[in-house]
Chains A and B, each alone.
Chain A
Amino acid sequence: MLLGNEAVVRGGLEAGFTVFTSYPGTPASEILDVAAEVSKAVGIHAEYSVNEKVAIDTAAGAAMNGLRAVTAMKHVGLNVASDTLMALPYFAPKSALVIVVADDPAAYSSQNEQDSRNYGYFANLPMLQPSNPQEVKDCMIKAAEISESLELPVLVRLDIRVSHVRGPVVLGDLREPPSRREFVKEKGRYTAIPPYPVRAHEVLLDKLEKCKAISCSPEFVKLTERGSENGVICAGSASTHVLDAELPSPMQPDVLKMLMVNPLPEEAIVRFLATHKRVLVVEELDPIFETRIKRLAYDSGLKTVILGKEAGIPSVGELMPIDVRLAMATLVGVPQAKKVSRPVPAGPARPPVFCAGCPHRASMYLIKTLAGKNRVVVSDIGCYGMGALSPTDVGDVLLDMGFSIGAAGGFAIGAKLKPVAIIGDSTFLHAGVPALINAVWNKHDLALFILDNYITAMTGLQPNPSSGLDSQLRETDRISIEDLVKACGVKSLRVLDPLQVKASRKEIREMLDERGVSVMILRQPCALLTSQQLKASGRKATPYAVVAENCNNCNACLVLANCPALIPATTVKGMSAKVTIDPTACTGCGFCAEICPYGAIIQGVA
C-alpha cells in the first residue's frame, strides 16, 4: 500500500525524474519528505525550497537544463508560485516538468477551499486528476510523456482524498533518467520580453489544441457502461463516490470518468451526451466541468438534460458519498432516504494543544499578557497559528503566509497603540522578509515577534534555512535571522529565550513603548526537535515535579499552560490531592515553574 503522496514519488522515479522541489504544506508535505528520504539511495536531487515560487523556479530551471523535474505544493502554495506558473507555459522547458498541486476541500489544514483545477484553465496547461494512489503513480509517468511530447509543463491535481489515501499500488521498475536535452541557446525561446510573449501565446494554444486528442484517448477516459439512458461524468476523488454509489441495479447510470481534465475530452463527452438522455456532472468545489460541459452541449446542438450543482452536489466542503448518491438518485428518478443528520454528542471538546515543552506556549503567554488585551495581534501560518483558538486566544487576525507583517503595517496607520505581528522562522523566510523591508522603509510603527524554533514544525518537522540542515538533514549554512532582520534596516532588535518568562517581560514592555519597527526574536528549538536530538544522543530530559506541600491548588499552571504533561488533582483519585506532572511527558522546559505563583514546581525532584 502506498499513500497518494508516496505514489507521486514512486511514479516520478519510475518515469526517470531526477529533480524534486517543494515547500511543505498539508496535504502535499509527504511528497518531498519521501523524495528527500530516498534521494541518496536512488540518486535524485530533492530539496525543500524557501517558498513555492522558488520551488517552481528551481524545477523549471532544471527542466530547461534537460533534467526531468517535479515540483509539489499545496493548493495555496500554487498561488505563491502563480507568477511563474502563468508565464512559464509560454516559454516552457523541453524536458518534463510536472507541477503537483494538492487541494484541501473542507480546509482541514488550510485557510481556504480553493479549487486549483481553475489553474489548469487559467494557465492553459494540461491537467491530470487521478483518483487513487495507483492512478497517481500512473499519471506521473503519463505526465512525463505528455510534457515532453508537447513541450509543456503538466499539472497533476490531487486533493486530500488522493494525497492522504493509502491503497494498493502495483510497482513498476525504476527508470534511468532519459538522455538529457541539454539547454541550447535559442533567441526568444525562453525570454519573456516583448515581442516574444504574443507569438508564444499562439504556440501555447496550438499545443493545448493538440492535447485534446490525448485527452480523449482510452487511457484517460474510463467508461462504465451499464446500458442506461442516464449518465454521470466525473473525475478525481469525486469519481470514487460515484463508482461506489449503490442504486437499485437496473437504475445504475453509465459513468464517464476522466483522468485528463484540461483540456476536457470534448469528443468523448459529446458522444456520451448524445447517447444519454440525462447526464449528471459530479465534481467537488467549483462547477468547472459543469459549466464547460453545458457549453459544449450548446455548441454541439445537443438537447441532453445536464444536471450539476442544482442536483444537490455541494460547492462547499468535502464531497461525501451520500451527497453523490442522492444526486444520482435524483438523476435516475428514484426516491432515496434523506441525508442522515446525527447530532454531535455532548461532551467536552478536545482541541489540538501545543506539545509538552513547546516554546510557543511561553511566547503566547507573554504576548497575551503584555500585548493581547488592547493591541491588535496579527498572527501567521504555523503551529503558533493554533494560538488563535481557545483557550490560548492569541491572534485577532490570521490569513495567509506572511500576511502578519504587511497587515500590521496597515493597522499601524492611524492606530492608537502599536500593533503586534507574530511570525515563525519558516514563514518569515518564506514571505515575511519583503514585508519587513517595507515596514522599515515606510516607517510603520509595529512590534514583530519572530518565533524561531529552527524548523517547519506544523507540516512535520521539515528543515528550513534557520535549521542549519538541508533537506537530507546534512549540515549546511544556517541563515541567521538576526543578521537578516538587521539587514532589512531594523534598528531595534532583541533576541530572547521565551522560556525565561520573567526576564522577557521587561524587554517586551520596553519594546512595546518604542516607536517604529521593533523586532524580537523569541528563540527556542521546537520541543519535538529537542526530544529527537535527546533520543539520538541517548540522553533524557530532566522533568519537573510539583512539591505537594507548597502547591496551593490554585490551578494557575493548568489554566495558563494547557500543557499535556500537567495532571489535575481531581483525576488522580486517592493518589494526589495536588496537581502532578507526568514525568514521561514533561520535557523539562520549566514554563510552568516560571508561572507558578507559589514556586511549587521544581526541576529534578521526584
Chain B
Amino acid sequence: MQGRPVSIVVSGVGGQGVLLTSEILGNAAMLSGLDVRVTETHGLSQRGGSLVSFVRLGKEVHSPLIDLGAADYIISMELLEALRSSIYSGDKTTFVVSTLQVPPVTVFSGKAKYPPPAELRSSISSLCKKAFFLDATGMASAAGKSLYQNAVLLGFFAGITRELISPSEYGEALKMLVPERTLLSNMKAFDIGYTASSAETR
C-alpha cells in the first residue's frame, strides 16, 4: 500500500467496545507491516456518552488525528452516533453502520425524541460517498451473542478494504485482544461480516 494514510473513525456509545475495536484494527494493520496510530476522546465521554476513536494506517503515519470531513471510513456501532460522527464525513467517505439504536438519557427522560431510523439512514447517506447499514446485532446473534456486533462490523470493513489488511491478520489481532473463551464466537462473527460484504459489494 502506498500514498497517504487511510483515516478511519470508529464511533459508538461508551461501553460498546469502540476502543477495543479500534485496537484490534490497529494491531491487524501493524501485523500486516503498516504504520499505525490509534487515539480516542476519553474521560467525560465515558460512562455511556458518545465516544469517537481514530485509527490512521499507512506506510508512514505521524498524526493520530482526523480533520472534520476527512475520514475515509466511518465504522459506527449505533445509528444516532453514526449521524453524529458524520462531521468527519466528506465526499470520499464510506460508512459501515450498525442499525442498532441505543436511546440516550435525554430521550429516556423525555427531553428529546430518538429520530426515526429511516430519517437517520437517509441523512447519513446524503453526507457521504457510500453507506452500508447492517443489522449487526442480528448477524452477531448467529455467532452466539448480539454482543459480537463489533466483530461483524470489523469483518464487513475488512471485506470492503481487502487491499489493506488480510483476514488472517485480523484473526491474529483478535487472538491478541479478545478473551480466549469468546475468541471462536468473535472469529465467527467476523466471518459473517466479511462474507456479507461480498454480497453487498458485488
Contact = CB atoms under 8 A, between A and B. Distances in A.
A240 B61 CA distance: 8
6 contacts: A166-B38, A321-B66, A342-B89, A349-B106, A350-B13, A559-B109
A166 B40 CA distance: 10
A223 interface: no
B144 interface: no
Contact of A348 (B38, B48, B90, B106): B106
B84 interface: yes
Contacts of B80: 347-348, 350
Contacts of A246: 4
* Shortest Cβ-Cβ A-B pairs, 8 listed: A109-B43, A348-B112, A352-B49, A350-B104, A240-B62, A340-B69, A240-B63, A166-B38
A464 to B, nearest CB: 19
A165 interface: yes
Given A350-B48, A350-B80, A27 B42 contact: yes
A243 B47 contact: no
B36 A350 contact: no
Interface stretch (A395-403, A489-497, A563-571): A563-571
Contacts of B64: 161, 165, 167, 237, 240
Contacts of A559: 109-110
Given A348-B80, A352-B14, A568 B108 contact: yes
Contacts of A567: 108
A108 B43 CA distance: 6
Interface string B114-127: 11000010010001
Given A340-B67, A564-B105, A168 B35 contact: yes
Kindly state the interface size class of chain A when it binds its partner: 35 or more
B41 A320 contact: no
A329 B68 CA distance: 18
Contacts of B120: 347
B32 interface: no
B113 interface: yes
Given A566-B108, A568-B107, A321 B83 contact: no
A353 interface: yes
A341 interface: yes
A417 interface: no
Interface in A541-576: 555, 558-559, 562, 564, 566-568, 571
Nearest to A344: B87
A135 to B, nearest CB: 11
Interface stretch (B22-30, B135-143, B155-163): B22-30
Contacts of B105: 350-351, 353, 391, 562, 564
B30 A350 contact: no
B111 A391 contact: yes
B146 to A, nearest CB: 12
A240 B35 CA distance: 13
Contacts of A349: 104, 106, 112
A160 B41 CA distance: 9
A75 interface: no
A132 interface: yes
A85 interface: no
Interface string B41-66: 11111111110000000000111111
Contact of B39 (A164, A168, A383): A164
Nearest to B113: A348
A164 to B, nearest CB: 6
Contact of B38 (A165, A239, A341, A346): A165
A26 interface: yes
Nearest to B49: A352
A329 B99 CA distance: 41
A108 B50 CA distance: 13
Interface core residue of B46, B50, B86, B114 (most chain A CB under 10 Å):
B46
A241 interface: yes
B34 to A, nearest CB: 9
B30 to A, nearest CB: 6
Nearest to B46: A352
Nearest to B176: A1
Given A166-B23, A345-B86, A241 B103 contact: no
Q: Interface centre among B50, B68, B87, B108, by most A CB within 10 Å?
A: B108
A204 to B, nearest CB: 35
A354 B47 contact: yes
Contacts of A571: 103, 107, 114
Interface of A: 1, 26-27, 108-110, 131-132, 160-161, 164-168, 237, 239-241, 243-244, 246, 318, 320-322, 340-342, 344-355, 383, 386, 391, 555, 558-559, 562, 564, 566-568, 571
B91 to A, nearest CB: 11
B174 to A, nearest CB: 14
Contacts of A322: 67-68, 70
Contacts of B191: none
Contacts of A318: 65
Contacts of A108: 41-45
Given A108-B43, A109-B42, A391-B109, 16 more contacts: A26-B42, A108-B44, A110-B43, A160-B42, A161-B64, A161-B65, A167-B64, A237-B63, A344-B87, A345-B127, A350-B104, A352-B45, A391-B105, A558-B110, A562-B108, A568-B108
Contact of A562 (B4, B69, B70, B109): B109
B67 A350 contact: no
Contacts of B45: 108, 352
Contacts of A131: 62
Contacts of B46: 352
A1 to B, nearest CB: 6
A354 B35 CA distance: 37
A26 B43 contact: yes
A350 B62 contact: no
B36 A167 contact: yes
Contact of A1 (B27, B44, B50): B27
A131 B39 CA distance: 13
Contact of A241 (B50, B62, B123): B62
A345 B4 contact: no
Contacts of A353: 47-49, 105
A107 to B, nearest CB: 9
B108 A320 contact: no
B44 A352 contact: yes
Contact of B63 (A241, A344, A350): A241
Contacts of B41: 108
Contacts of B61: 244
Interface string B159-199: 00000000000000000000000000000000000000000
Contact of A243 (B14, B40, B50, B62): B62
B134 to A, nearest CB: 20
Nearest to B58: A244
A166 B104 contact: no
Contacts of B13: 350
B90 A1 contact: no
Contacts of A351: 49, 104-106
Contacts of B65: 161, 241, 318, 320-321
